[in-house]
Structure formats: C-alpha cells, structure tokens
C-alpha cells in the first residue's frame, strides 16, 4: 500500500517544520486545517504504515522512538536517559 499525497505531505512537514521558525501546530493548522490533537492521531497512524518507513526511514524511526518514550513516561516508566544512568 502506498502513502497518499496528504500522508507524504504530513511526513514532509514533520521533518522540516522547524526550518520556518514558527510553531509546528500553527504550520499544521495552516497547511492541513488540523488541530494538534488530530495531527498527532493521524501521524500515529501514518508512522505505523510500512509505506511511511519506506518513504522516510530515519524520520519514521525517530517518531516511533519518541512516541514509545512518551508512552513509557505517561504510564509510569522511567525515561530512557534515566534507565541508562542507573
């Protein structure tokens, strides 16, 4: 299955939003009309797609790691950097 144009555009924005110097959520709202929450949900679905990994493996792996770390912290686990220091 291939990514849609919108899914590729979301990954492209995620990769480079900070180059514009503005807020990520403002860029998402301006370009896609999505709230931050809706974007996070859509991004979560996109990065689970194998086609996204084929499209931009470095970005997708980084986003998956960041998501996993947030889940660990949210659910009471220690962040990775704390575990490695012990």
**Digit-coded pLDDT (tens) for 6-26:** 999 999 999 998 887 788 888
Q: What are the structural domain ranges in the chain? A: 5-81
pLDDT in tens, 21-60: 788 888 888 888 888 788 889 999 999 999 999 999 999 9
61: CB partners within 8 A, 6+ apart: 53
Contacts of 81 by beta carbon, 8 Å cutoff, 6+ apart: none
pLDDT at residue 79, as a whole number: 55
Which residue do the tokens 């480079």 mark?
A: 16
């Amino acid at each position: 299955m291939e990514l849609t144009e919108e899914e590729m555009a979301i990954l492209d924005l995620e990769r480079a939003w900070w180059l514009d110097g503005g807020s990520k959520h403002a860029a998402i709202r301006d370009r896609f009309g999505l709230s931050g929450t809706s974007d996070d949900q859509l991004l979560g679905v996109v990065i689970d797609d194998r086609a996204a990994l084929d499209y931009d493996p470095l970005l997708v792996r980084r986003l998956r790691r960041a998501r996993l770390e947030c889940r660990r912290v949210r659910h009471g686990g220690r962040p990775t950097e704390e575990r490695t220091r012990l």
